[in-house]
Amino acid sequence: MVTLTDEEKAMRDGRDGDAVAAAMDLLIRYADALGAAHLCETRNVAGTNTQPSPAKTKLFEEGGWSKAFAVISLDCDDDIEVPPMKVPTCQLQHGFGDDALGIMPYSERNIELQADAESFYSSKGVNVLATCTPYQVGNLPTYGEHIAWMESSAVVYANSVLGARTNCEGGASTGSASITGRIPCWGNHLVENRYGTHLIESGLRMTGFQDWGMFGYFVGDAVQEARPVMVGDLGQPDLADLKHFGAAAASSGGVEMYHIPGRTPDAPTLEAAFGGAAPPEPLRYGEAERRAIYDSLNSIGNSEDIDFVLIGCPHASLEQIGRVARALEGRTLSAGTELWVMTPRALRAVSDRNGWTATIERAGGRVLTDSCPAMSRVAPTGTKVFATDSAKQAHYLPAILGIEAWFGTTEECVDAAVTGRWRGSLTPAAVVR
């Protein structure tokens, strides 16, 4: 049984109202299910309240946002009033907003409902960042900070790249954390659970964004929910590379924490990555493994006629938007092919100022925000085949929309949007040894 402080007992017993008591009840049931000894204090919650879903719409129609929050975010059937957020809480990616109107078959009712939910939850103190990458736009946890985040790609980034501490939370645990400032102190919150479990030895240098995604997809498949440590002459990754790597590893597997000795903050050395324990026998990543991953990600592509190109999963960094703009400079998309770049609204504002949005729009593409085709389960009308530079989107979207997928480099995807044809092929590996 989880041990509570006096403050936590007071919250459980109703001192701060029914909603807080319900939140503590959920956190206690959750902590006991996990076997957590106690709760940790957190002042950084990233969750989701505004994303429309059929179940949420039904609850909203029955009893407003309070009902939806009670059932979905607190697992509580009582009538409660939503209190102000107790600690800083942000909304992750959600459905499409106004910018979807007239360009995709997305429910206007969902757009209206989400706008209403945004007004309601922002009045309760939720920061509407509306992105899967809060760390790009104003929520950058510090090293060692206990946080309560959803979104598997953000969780793995926060733990591994930033050295913050979070488990892969869900709607009810983040909802409860947001009004109590507590989360079970279990798993990744505890130092002893953050050391590496598997050693991955790459014989290849990563040649860029695509390579990091394929490597992540390999690693996730190989270790599932464990904590891999990657070694080799990998090269210097940037924010977008590690964003892609982690998202891929959290899609083919359930990786929430990894180390790249010398690159990620919990692992200045290989020894530190394993907490002083002897590293296990390495798993090899070489040309054959890279080829197999590429083929697997492209196994759902059949027709080479491309209807739709998706860039920005997780939401594109500024540099990624700039690359697309440069690749589209002076070109025009093939008639019948759409190209969307997904990015946080705050980065879109910079893209607008930089002139990149105008360049992309002149070519016939779009820079969209808040969501993605997978979250909103929508693509341009008539899409049968899509191409993406994201291993995560290639993994999920075929299942969600029943369409074919091609996976390639950002430039191959832009080329497919311009020509309407998929002409991608695996770039040569940079073999180190």
By beta-carbon proximity to another protein, the closer residue of 333 and 374 is 374
Helix (H) or strand (E) holding 283: strand 282-285
Three-state DSSP at 287 gives helix
Spell out the residues 6+ positions from residue 156 whose beta carbon is closer than 8 angstroms to its own.
246, 247, 249, 250, 255, 256, 257, 258
Distances (CA, A) of 139 to 106, 129, 149, 313: 29, 9, 11, 18
Shortest reach from residue 158's CB to another protein, in Å: 12
Shortest reach from residue 296's CB to another protein, in Å: 8
Sign for the pseudo-dihedral over CA of 288, 291, 297, 302 = negative
Cβ atoms of residues 304 and 273 within 8 Å:
no
By beta-carbon proximity to another protein, the closer residue of 187 and 279 is 187
> Among 279, 277, 187, 189, which Cα is nearest to 230's?
279
d(C-alpha 186, C-alpha 216), whole Å = 25
> From the centroid of its chain, how far is CA 414?
23
By beta-carbon proximity to another protein, the closer residue of 155 and 260 is 155
By beta-carbon proximity to another protein, the closer residue of 35 and 268 is 35
Interacting residue ranges for another protein, rule: CB under 8 A: 26, 29-30, 32-35, 48, 53-55, 58-59, 71-72, 75, 149-152, 155, 167-173, 184, 186-187, 224-225, 250-251, 253-254, 300, 374, 395-396, 398-400
Shortest reach from residue 223's CB to another protein, in Å: 11
By beta-carbon proximity to another protein, the closer residue of 90 and 418 is 90
By beta-carbon proximity to another protein, the closer residue of 33 and 358 is 33
Shortest reach from residue 127's CB to another protein, in Å: 18
By beta-carbon proximity to another protein, the closer residue of 30 and 274 is 30
Local structure of residue 115 (DSSP, 8 states): H
Shortest reach from residue 189's CB to another protein, in Å: 10
Q: Pull the structure tokens for residue 215.
A: 């490597």
Spell out the residues 6+ positions from residue 192 whose beta carbon is closer than 8 angstroms to its own.
275
Shortest reach from residue 116's CB to another protein, in Å: 20
Shortest reach from residue 373's CB to another protein, in Å: 11
